[in-house]
Structure formats: C-alpha cells, structure tokens
Amino acid sequence: MLLNLGGQQEVSSAMGPGKRSVLWVRGCSILCSGCITPEYLDHAVRTETTVEEVCEWITRMKFEHQIEGVSFSGGEPFEQAKALAFIARACRELGLSIQSWSGYTKRYLEKGHAPDGSRELLETLDVLIDGPFIRQRPTSLPLRGSSNQHLHLLTDRYKVEDFEQRYMELVIDPKQTRAVGVMNHAHLRAALALSGILGDV
C-alpha cells in the first residue's frame, strides 16, 4: 500500500500534545481558500512511499526521540484514509497516540459517502480536529485555524486541558525554511519577518 507523502518532521511540539512526529500527505479536494500548506494540495504531484517504510521511520522516531504520538496533516488525510489507518494501527502497537486534522466534519466522515476508509481511520484516532479552514473566521484556539473547527477527543488518552497551549516552530535548514504549527497568516508573516525570512505565505 502506498502513501502520497508531502512532508514529515521527526519531532514537533506544535502539532499536538507532547513530542510528536508529523506526516503531511499530498492531495486535497476541499481546497480551502488561504490554506497554509498549498504545496500539499495537488493530487497530481506524486511522492509515494510504502506504508511499511513510514512505519519503520515512526518506530525509529519512537526510540531515537521518545515521541509520544504521531500527527497527520496535509493535504487531506482522509483522502488517504486506508493507508493512514494501516500506519495508525502500527503506531498503536508501539503505544503511540494518533491525532489528525480533516477539512471534512466528523459527522460527514461517519457517513457512507465519505472517502474510502474514513471510518477505519476514525477508529484508530485519539484526537480529530475537523472542519474546513475559513480564513474569514480566525481564532486563537490552539491547533485550530478558524473558529468553525472543533476538537474531538475520541479516546480517554487526553483531556481538553492538554490542548491549551498554542505553539509555532520555524524549521530552518539549507533546503527549506518552513513554519510548523496551526497559526493565522498574520502571526506567520510576523514570525518570518522577525527571522528575516519573509516570503509569500
């Protein structure tokens, strides 16, 4: 089984509780205006890897960095639900928590016309943050880009209090500088300006 993978980060504290590894998938049919990761929207761009390779990477992250969980973002994770469900089940066997974002609502994902494998992926998650990004509805709520999005705790692993902090990280390396975290565009531009790396965001 293949996953069209856009990006990955070994360790982040900005994409959910504790230290987490992050997977950004490629491809999204929702195409929210002002999406903060437009580079991951095009289904036609293919950077595929096997789910087994991803699971091996996550296993290495657990033992090298003592991560407590993995977060799925994108793109739209539920448009690759079957592959991510496979990965999530492997993560659970390692004792890791699973968090995902989706531009679809939880109610929609529970219905029969949701993307293939949606219910299967939902069953593996500890946390879902759902709803499309609406740029005209900014919010200061952690891990949500707009006020219409909701935090769903699907297991008892976490409490609402575990999601009270809002972080942003700047990852700077020779190939690429990128912001990690859920933030509004004004804050992102301010952070990039302070770092002397202001670009189109």
Name the residue ranges covered by the structural domains of the chain.
2-165
**Tens-binned pLDDT, residue by residue, of the chain (201 aa):** 999 999 999 999 999 999 999 999 999 999 999 888 899 999 999 999 999 999 999 999 999 999 999 999 999 999 999 999 999 999 999 999 999 999 999 999 999 899 999 999 999 999 999 999 999 998 988 899 999 999 999 999 999 999 987 676 766 666 665 667 676 555 665 666 666 654 443
The reply to whether the predicted model has a pTM over 0.85 is yes
Q: What distance in Å separates the CA atoms of residue 170 and residue 180, rounded to the nearest whole number?
A: 6
Task: List alpha helices for the chain, DSSP H.
Answer: 51-65, 81-93, 106-109, 118-122, 185-194
| CA nearest to 26, candidates 44, 6, 52, 48 | 6
Beta bridge partners of 49: 3
The DSSP code sequence of 154-169 is -SSS--GGGG-----E
- Name the token pair of 154: 């699907």
What topology is assigned to 2-165 in CATH? Answer: TIM Barrel (3.20.20)
Q: Tell me if 47 sits within 8 A of 4, measured CB to CB.
A: yes
